[in-house]
Structure 1
Amino acid sequence: MSNYTVAELLGWMDGKSQTHGWDAVVSYDQRKTNELLHQLYVERFSSDKGYIPPITRTLDPTGNERSELYGLRLSVPKLSFDNASIDFTNSKADLTMDMVGGAIVTRVVLSGIPSRIDRIQELLPLGGPQLSMTLPLENTPGSVSGERLVTLDISKGENFKANFVVSGMDQITIGNQFKLMFEKLDDDLKVFPLGRLGPESNEALTPESFEIRTLKAPVIAGRADVNPGAGAVMMFITLAGGKPGEVPPKPNPDNPNGFRYLIPKDEVGEKFTGSMLLSSRVLFDKVIRPYAIESIGHGIDFSPYNGAADLAWALTANTGSIPVPGFEYDYNIFHTSICKANNSETLRIDFRLGTGDTPLTLRVESRRPVLLWRTTTQQFGFRLRTWFPLHPEIEPQPLVTNGRIRLTTVYKVYYDVKLDEKDGVVSFERIAVPRLILKASEHGWLLDIFDKEKYEKFDAHLYNSYYPHLNKLLQHVPVPNIDTFLIRNLLFGNYKDPNFTQALHLSRASVPGDLFLMGEIDPLRTSMGITADQSLVEIGKTLQFKVLGRGADVPTVLWSVSDPDGTEVNVGTISPQGLYQAPVELKVNQLSVLVKAEGSLDNKPVTALAMISVMKSTIAVNPIFQVTAPVTLGKPEDYYLKLTAETIDGSAPKWELLPSTSGSYLIPDPQDKDNPCTRMYVQGPKNTDPFIIDTIEVNASGGAPKQIKILFHSYTSTLYLEDDKTIEPSTGKIQLRVKMEEGDDPDDFTLALLESGGAGGALDIQSGVSAIYKEPASLQNSFAIVTAQWGSGSRGYYGFIVLPLPLSTYSQAPAMFDENNPSAVWQS
C-alpha cells in the first residue's frame, strides 16, 4: 500500500495536535476489518444466533422473463472504500455480499403457453454474482453511555445493486428487492455487532460518544497505488466530559500540512493495520495533570491552555512553591564566620514564571515528554554573623550583616515512551540521570574575606543543602501509565465475552505532539485462531490448517469438521495434525464445511473456527446452460453470449469449443480483450439439425474441467413439453406431455433425451405424446433436456424442455416475490 511511512507521519505530527478537537482517533484497516467481519459470520454457524437463510424465490418479473432463485446463500458483508470521504456529510462505505451458493434459473414466460427455462447460473464461492450497497455513516452516531452495541446493519444500506441483469430487470431493480428482503429480517440476522461497550470506566479515557467515518487510502506520487477499495474505518471519539471535535479537512496531496491517512505503510518486519491518536490535550490535561498535581503537591496548578487548537498542549505551572530548609555555613581561618539562612523569612522556591524564566512545565520535546523548570527569581534572605578576635584575651565581638542571595534553579528530565505490547499499556520511564542545576549569585554584600574560592565553597554548601530536598521531590514526579484498552477496542470488542482479547495489538508508540500508537489488528476474538492457505478446496484434495496466536501454546488440539446446515453427512475428515481431507464426491456442486479447533489454555477452554468451501472443480463457470436461437436479424454481435470462468488459484483458464456442427466459435471479449477469464460465444448460422448442443470446456491446471452447455435450436418452437403433475418429484421422476401451440395434438411425436444429466438418466416413452423422465443417480451435469419433434425441416414442429436437477428442488417454481410481504422469503 502507498501509505505514508511512520517517519513521514511523525514529521507531520511534530509539535502539533492532529485530532481536530477530538479526544482520540482510531483507524482500522479495510483488510483486517473484513477479516473480523468474516470471523463474526463464521461464529454464527456454530451458535444459536443463526445466519441469513438461503433464499428460494422468484423475482418480480419484467417483460417475458422471470428469474427464480434457488437456495441462494449470501456471504459475509465485505467493506471497501472507493467512494469513501472523511467529509462528515458524505462519509460512506461500499459493502458487497457475494452469492456463494444456489442457482439462478431464468424462465421465458409467454401468455397461454407453458414457460420454458432458457438459462441456468450456478452460484459458487468463486466468481459468483454480487450484491452491493452503500452505507451512509453520517446518520449513525454512536453513544457508549450505558451499554451500547456498535453495529453494521445491512438493511440500512442505500443504492442496492446487483452486478448482473436477469428477467429484463436492471441491476438497481434487483438490488431493491433484496433491500426489501433485508428490512424484514430479524435483527439477529441482519445486524452484525462490531463491538460492545458497557458502563465500565477507564478514568479519563472512558469513551462517551463517537462518530464512525471512512477514508480511502492515499495515492502518493511516485509510489505503487493502493489495492482497489483499500481504506480505513475511522472512529472519532469523545471521552467522558469532553466535546466533539471538528470535521478534518479532506486529505489533499498538494497540501503537505492537511489531514492524512493515519495507518502507516508496512515496514520491514512490521505490519501496520491499525492506529490510535490520543490528543495531546487529553494526554496532558486529563491524564498527566491530576497525577502531577497530586505527586508534586505544594499548591501547584497549571494554566489553562490558550494556544491554537492544532498545537500540542503543555502543562505550565501558575501557582505553588516548594519550601526549602535553612542552613548554616561555618567558615574559620583566622576568625569564625557563620552564614545562616534568615529564619524570619519564609524560604520557598516558586513554580511560577518569572521574567525570562520557564515555570515548571510538562511538554513534548524530541517526541517524548519532558519536565522543564528554570527560575532565578528567588532571593533568599541571609544574615552573616562574623566574630572578630580583637585580642586573644578579649572575647570576640560579632559583626552582623544582612543581605540576599539569588538562587538559580534549572531542572530537566526526559521520559522515554514504553509500550507493553501484551496489554497495550503505555508507560513513561524517566531517564536515569536528570539534569538539576542550582547556582547562587549576588554575593557582593558578603565580607571581602569571602574571596572567589571561598564563594565557591559557600555555593557548594548551599547546593548540598538544597539539592537533595529538591531532587527528592522532583524525581518522583510521575507521568502515569495509559491504558488504551477501551478506546482501541470500540470496534470488535465485547467485554462480556470471557474469551475476548484485544483487536488492535500495538507495536510502536511515540509522542510527536499527540500520543501516536501503531500496530496490527488481530482478527481473532479468542486467544487461539486457525487458518489455511485458502478457503476453497476441490473434492478429493487436502488442505492443511495451522494454529495462530497463543494457540501455539495449546498442548493438545482437538480438530473436527461439520456441515453448518446439519444436512450433509459426508463432509470429509481432519487429522489430529489439522490436515483436512475433502470428500471425493458431492451430491451438490458446493459444500460449506465448518472446521473447529478446541483445546485448553491457561486452564480455560478455547475454541477457534474457520469456514471453507469444497467444490467439484477448481473452476467456476457461468452460465452453465444457455438456450440460443439462430441469427436471423441484426448484426452477429447482437447475439454474442458472454461466458465467464474463475479458478481457485487465480490462474488463467483455457477455453475450448468442442467439435460440433453448429458453426459457432469463441472470441475474446471485445470490451476486455486481455482478460483470460471471459470469452464471447459467437453463434453459428441456421442449421439443418433442429437441436445442437455446443459444449465449451474450460480447463485449469490441477483440476477437473468444467463445461458450459449451449442449446442451439434452428427452428422456432411450436411444440411444448410440460409436467402433467401426476408423479411426485421426490421420486426422481417426472411425467412429460407434449402440446402443440395450435390445432389438435398428433399422437406420433418423436421424443428424445438430448442431454442426460449424467450416467443413468433415462426417458421412458409412454406414448407418442408422453414420456417419463427418470433422473440419474449422479447429478453431475445438473440438468437434462428432452426434445419433441413432428415432421422435419422447415415444415416440422419442434419443442424442448429443460429440467434442472434434482427434480425435487426445481420442478416447482418458487413463489413470486411480494413487495407487500417481503418477509415471506424467509419462511419458505
Structure 2
Amino acid sequence: MSNSKTDLLSALDGKSITLGWNAVVVYNRDRINALFAQQFAQKTAAGNNLVVPDQEIPDNHSSSASDIYLSVSDLALGPPLLSFANADLDTSTAALTMQFLSGYFFSIAESETAPSTISRYDGVLPDSNFNLTATLDLSKTEGDISSSGDVYLDLSQASAADISVNLVEGQSNITQLSTYFQQLFNQASDEQKRYPLGSLQNIDSSNPLNPTQFALRTQPAPTASANISDKSYGDGAVVLFIQTAANTSGTTGSLPSSGSGYPYLIPDDTDSAGNALYSGAVIVESATLFDSIIRPAYLSQIGSDDVVLNTKLLDNGTASPASYLMAATGHVRGGTLDMSWEFYEEQPYPAPTAHVIVTVHTSDTNKNLQPVLLDITGMTVVPSAQSIKLSWSGQFDQFIYQLHHQLSPNDFQDITNQSMRISYPLTSTSTPSVDPDSNIVKITNSRSSTDITLGGYPWCNEIDDAEYRDQITQDLSGDTYSAIEKLASLQVPDIDVFTLSNMLFPNDNALQLSDASVPGDMALFGQINPSATTCLLSPLQATVVASNPAQSALVNDTQVFTLTGPAGATISWSLSNNADVCTDDRIEGREDGISATYKAPDISLLSSASFQEVITAVAVVDNADGTTSTYTASAVAIVSANPININPCFAYAVSGSSAPITFTASVVNKSAEDAGQPAWGGATDTTPDSAPPGIYTASYTPTLSTGAYGLETVTFSIGSVSATASVLVVKPGLYPTLHVGAGTWHAGDTDPDEVVAGNLTPLAPGASRQLAAIQTNMMTGESTDIASTPGCTCSILGAPVPDDGSLGSLSATGLYTAPALAKTTCVAIMFMTTSGSDFGYTVIPLLPGKTAA
C-alpha cells in the first residue's frame, strides 16, 4: 500500500486532520528511539544518576506484628532510557528503564516476641540485571511545558501497577517496592518526578506556534504487522498532538483511535538507493495558519480600519474541511485622482469669452475628495495544494466628482458625481518553502497579470480635450493599480516551526524539514537528524569488570564497541567519565576501522561498586561535492568491581521448614565464561534456556545435618573465578534472642530493634565498626549491651581455619575491621552467650577496592 507524498497530499486536499489541535508532529518510531538512546548516553556523560534516599519500606512497619520490611540504602539508578514500546493508537505506551547501578538492601524480619533479624541481604551491582521499568500509558501520561519552557513527561502519573522493580523476590516485596517508587515519584519535587525531554530556549514569545501542552500517541505504519512475532511489528510513528499559544480557550482536541482512518503522515518515498526520504512531519492546523498567522499579518499590511477578514470552513463536503479567509467588508486604499484645468470658451455675441475651470477627482458619495478605494468584499485566501491562493473578483465602482465652473459674465456650475466601474481580476499565489537548518518556512509570492479595465464613464467622453480625457483614465488606472499592488503584495510572514518540530528534543534540531505544502493544513516533511541517527554504537550499554592484576588471565576487562554508519568514514574515539578516573590509553581503534576496544580501569581506582564511562565515536565522511559530513554516536560502559556476583549475598533460613532459596549469579559481560564451564556448588542449577546471557540461577534447600546452626555456602564458578554467597541455617525451634548490629545504642533510650537496623552501610577496606549485642531480660524488660562482657563471644562466620584475615578481623569486644582487599561482598558475624542460651547475628556489607597506600 503506497503512502507516497503525492498520495498523502491528495488525501489531505481541502481537509484539516489535526482533530482540534493546533499542530501535529510525527516522528518515525525507530529513529526517535535511536535519538533517545543518544540522549541516554548524554545524560550518562553528564552524571545524571538518581540516588534514592535511605528508606525503610514500608515506612509504617511495626514490630507489633510479624512482618518483613526492606531497608534500602545508597541505591543509585542510572539515567532513564525512554523508548516508545509499541505502535498502537488505542494502547500507546512508552517504556522507561532505569538500571540499578549500586547500593544494597536488607530484608528485616520483625516479630512481636523476638528480636528483629536480617533475613536477607542483596547487593546491587550493574551486572545483577536489576532494573526499574515503568510502562507509561500515554493516554494517562500528560506531556507538559512548564512556565520556564521545560518539556517533560510527568512520571507521577504512572500507577504502582505500571512500575516494576525486580530487586526482590516475592509478590508482596515487589508490590512494596513498586508502591514505594510510585509514591516517591508522587511526592517528589517537580524536578524529580518529571522526565525531562529538554528546555525551550530563546523562543519568540509572540509566536502563536509556541507549544503549551501536548499529548503523545504511537501509530502503526501502513506496512506494520499486527503479529508480535513478525519483523515489522511495532513499525510506525510517535505522534504529538500539540496545543500552542494560538489556543486561547484552553481546550484540547480529540485523539484518534485504531480503525478511525487517521492518516499515517510520514511519506514512504525513497531515493534511488532505496533510502527513506522522510522520517518526520509537522502539520500546522489550517485554522491556526489562517486565523492566527495570516489574518493579523494581512490586516497590518492593508492598514485599513474597515477591513474584516473572517475565518471560514471550505464548503467541500468533507467531514473536516480546512479553514480559509474571506473578506466580509473593507477597502484597500489606492492613489487619489485630483485634476483641474481651465480654458476660455467663445460665447454667442455679444457675450464675452467665458473663463471655464474644470475639476475632476475621486470622491465619496458626498463628493468629498478621497483616494481610490478597492472594495475587497468577497476576497478569499484559501489553501491550494502546494500554495496559498488569494483571489479577488477585481471589480468595483468608484465615484468620480466633476465640476464644470464657468465664470462671469454668466456665472454657473455644472456638478456631477458619477461612478466608474473598475475591473482587475487578481489571483496571487504564496508558495511555501522550508529551510532545514532553521525550520523556518518562507513564503514566495507570484500573481497573474492583466490590464485594468475602466467602464461606465460617458461623462468622460463629454470632455472635449482628448488630452485630458486620456490623462484622467491614465491617472485613474495608476491610482487603482497602487491599491491592487498593495493587495497583490500581501506577504505571509516567515513561520518558525523549530520549536514545534523539536518538541521531544528542544535542545537540538532533531527534525530537519525540507518540503512544504498547503493542501488544507500546512504540511511539512523532513528527516530526523541524520547526524544523530545515521550512526549507532553497539552495544549501547555494556557492563565491564574492573581490571584486576590478580585475575588478569581469568577475566576479560575489555569490551569491543562497533559503529554502524556510513561507509568510508574516518572515525575518532574518545572516553570520558565523571569519577575523575584517568582515561588515558583505554580506548583504541581496531584495524577494521569501525570498532574500538575499551579497557576498564584498575579495581584500585574504584571508590564504589560501579561507575559509568561514555564512549564516543565521531565519524567524518568526505562527500562527492567536496564537503564533509560529521556524525556522532555514544555508548555507555558500566564498570563493575567483581567479575561474578551472587544474590542474595546472605540469607537466613530454618532447616527443613524454610522454602528453597533461589540464587542468581551474574557474570559481568560474560567476562569469565571463556575460562571454563559454569558450575554451582552447594545448590542445584535451575538456569532456564531463556535466561539472558551471563545470568544463571540455582535452588538451595536449607538443610542442617548436625549442630544448632551452621553457615552454608553456595558457590558459582567458571574455571578458577568464583563468587560465594552464604546461608545461616538454624535448627527448627531455635530463634535469635540477641539484638545484634551497629546501630547506636543508649540504654533505656533506644529500641533494641534500632541496633539491628541501624548503620548497615558498606564498610570501606581497612575501616572498622563497633558492634553491639543487646540482651533483654524478659522478666524486667531491661536491655543491656553484652558485646564486651566476658559472658559473650563473637566470631566471623565462615572464617577459614586458621584465620588468614581474608574476611577481616574481629576483636573480643565486637570491633570488626574490614580486610584490606575485600574478596566477598559481605560478612556475617555471630554473637553468643557463653552459656549458649542466647545468640544473634548481623551482616556487614563490604566495599570493593583496596586500602589506599
SS in 2 for 1:428: strand
Residue 58 (str. 1) matches residue 56 (str. 2): yes
Could you tell me whether the CA contact under 8 Å between 2:806 and 2:823 is conserved in 1?
A: no
Q: Distance in 2 between matches of 1:348 and 1:297?
A: 14
Shift of 1:15: 1.7
Partner Cα separation in structure 2 for residue 166 and residue 79 of structure 1: 25
1:175 counterpart residue number: 178
Q: Shift of the alpha carbon at 1:420? A: 0.8
Structure 1 position 370 matched with structure 2 position 368? no
Report the alpha carbon displacement of residue 17 of structure 1 after superposing the two structures with TM: 1.0
Decide whether the 8 Å contact of 2:130 with 2:165 is kept in 1: no
TM-score w.r.t. the length of structure 2 is: 0.60
In structure 2, what is the Cα distance between the partners aligned to 1:140 and 1:379?
A: 58
**How far apart are the structure 2 equivalents of 1:97 and 1:215?**
22
Deviation string 1:280-302 (CA, Å, 9 cap, x unpaired) is 12223332334445667899957
- Matched letter for residue 120 of structure 1: D
User: What amino acid sits opposite 1:779 in the alignment?
Assistant: A
Q: Match for 2:323 among 297, 313, 329? A: 313
CA 1:125 to 1:514, structure 2 compared with 1: closer, same or farther past 3 Å? Answer: farther
Sort the Cα spacing of 1:696 and 1:277 in 2 relative to 1 into closer, same or farther, 3 A.
same
1:761 aligns with 2:806: yes
Task: Pick from 555, 558, 571 the counterpart of residue 541 of structure 1.
Answer: 558
Which amino acid in 2 is paired with 1:18? Answer: I
One-letter amino acid of the counterpart of residue 324, structure 2: A
Cα offsets for 1:649-706 (capped at 9, x unmatched)? 999999966264x57332528xxx576676653446957586653323479xxxx977
2:287 and 2:191 mapped to 1: Cα distance? 40
The answer to whether residue 611 in structure 2 is matched with residue 591 in structure 1 is: yes
8 A Cα contact 1:147 1:199, kept in partner: no
2:845 aligned partner: 805
> Following the alignment from structure 1 to structure 2, what is the Cα–Cα distance between the partners of residues 698 and 628?
27
Structure 2 match to 1:67: 70
Residue 478 of structure 1, aligned match among 491, 494, 500: 491
Check conservation: 2:143, 2:216, Cα contact below 8 A. no
**Aligned-partner SS, 1:306:** strand
AA matched with 1:482: I
Which deviates more from structure 2 when the two are superposed, residues 712-721 or residues 172-181? Answer: 712-721
- Aligned equivalents of 2:741, 2:648: Cα separation in 1: 28
The offset of 1:583, in angstroms, is: 0.6
Aligned positions of 1:545-564 closer than 5 A: 561-563=577-579
Aligned to 1:423: 438
Residue correspondence of structure 1 range 640-655 to structure 2 within 5 A: 641=662, 643=664, 645=666
Counterpart-to-counterpart distance in 1, 2:122 and 2:743: 25
Shift of residue 364, structure 1, vs aligned partner: 2.5
Give the Cα separation in 2 of the matches to 1:3 and 1:746: 87
- Matched with 1:205 is 208
- The Cα of 1:155 is off from its aligned counterpart by 5.1
Q: Could you say what secondary structure the match of 2:24 adopts?
A: strand
Question: Any idea what SS the aligned residue of 2:249 has?
Answer: coil
Tell me the CA shift for residue 166 of structure 1.
Answer: 5.6
Question: Is the 1:3–1:263 Cα contact (8 Å) retained in structure 2?
Answer: no
Quote how far apart the aligned CAs of 1:73 are. Answer: 1.1
Distance 1:185 1:300, change over 3 A: closer
Q: Deviations over 1:236-283 (max 9, x none)?
A: 22434743455324322x332x4x565667966458675432111222
CA distance in 2, matches of 1:574, 1:184: 45
Question: What code does the residue aligned with 1:422 have?
Answer: D
- 1:779 aligned onto 2:822: yes
Structure 1 residues 295 and 680, CA, compared in 2 at 3 Å: closer, same or farther?
same
Instruction: Name the SS for the 1:175 alignment partner.
Output: helix
**Structure 1 residue 16, shift from structure 2 partner:** 0.8
* Structure 2 counterpart SS, 1:177: helix
Deviations 1:394-450 (Å, cap 9, x if unpaired)? xxxxxxxxxx9999866656544311111111112346xx6546699999x9xxxxx
The answer to whether residue 26 in structure 2 is matched with residue 20 in structure 1 is no
Q: How far apart are 1:639 and its partner, in Å? A: 3.4
Corresponding residue of 2:469: none
Letter paired with 2:846? P
Q: Name the aligned partner's letter for residue 698 of structure 2.
A: Y
Q: Cα–Cα, structure 1 residues 771 and 621, in superposed 2: closer, same or farther, change >3 Å?
A: closer
Structure 1 residues 156-165 or 711-720, which shifts more?
711-720
In the superposition, the TM-score normalised over structure 1's length comes to 0.62
Distance 1:616 1:524, change over 3 A: farther
Give the aligned partner of residue 102 of structure 2: 101
Cα deviation for residue 74 of structure 1 reads 2.6
Q: Which residue of 1 aligns with 2:660?
A: 639
- 5 Å matches for 1:585-734? 585=603, 586=606, 588-593=608-613, 612-616=637-641, 622-623=647-648, 639=660, 641=662, 643=664, 645=666, 658=679, 660=681, 662=682, 664-668=684-688, 681-683=698-700, 688=705, 692-697=712-717, 707=723, 709=725, 711=727, 716=732, 718=734, 731-732=766-767
Alignment of 1:207-246 (within 5 A): 207=210, 210-218=212-220, 220=222, 223=225, 232=238, 234-240=240-246, 242-244=248-250, 246=252
| Structure 2 partner of 1:255 | 260
Aligned twin of 1:276: 282
**Matched AA of 1:506:** L
Partner SS, residue 55 of structure 1: coil
Q: Secondary structure at the match of 2:175?
A: helix
Quick check: 2:93–2:218 contact (8 Å CA) kept in 1?
no
Tell me, yes or no, if the aligned pair for 1:427 and 1:482 is still in contact at 8 Å. yes
Unaligned runs of 5+ in 1: 327-342, 354-358, 382-403, 446-460, 494-499, 564-568, 599-606, 791-795, 810-828
Deviations 1:65-99 (A, max 9, x none): 33222310133345566799989xx9986655443
The answer as to whether partners of 2:22 and 2:288 remain within 8 angstroms in 1 is yes
- Number of residues of Structure 1 aligned to a counterpart in Structure 2: 689
1:340 is matched with none
- How far apart in 2 are the matches of 1:656 and 1:532? 27
Deviation at 1:312, TM superposition (A): 1.6
In the TM superposition, residue 18 of structure 1 has moved relative to its aligned partner by 1.5
Equivalent residue number for residue 512 of structure 1 = 519
Calculate the aligned-residue CA RMSD, in Å: 6.6
Where 1:217 maps in the other structure, the secondary structure is strand
Q: CA deviation at 1:229?
A: 12
Find the residue that maps to 2:254 and give its secondary structure. coil
1:470 and 1:274, CA in 2 relative to 1: closer, same or farther beyond 3 A?
A: same
Q: In percent, how many aligned pairs have the same letter?
A: 18
Worse overlay, 532-541 or 796-805: 796-805
SS in 2 for 1:304: strand
8 Å contact kept, 1:32–1:522: no
1:577 CA drift (Å)? 9.4
The letter for the 2-side match of 1:218 is P
- Aligned equivalents of 1:723, 1:7: Cα separation in 2: 77
Change (3 A) 1:117 1:530: same
Distance 2:448 2:830 in 1: 98
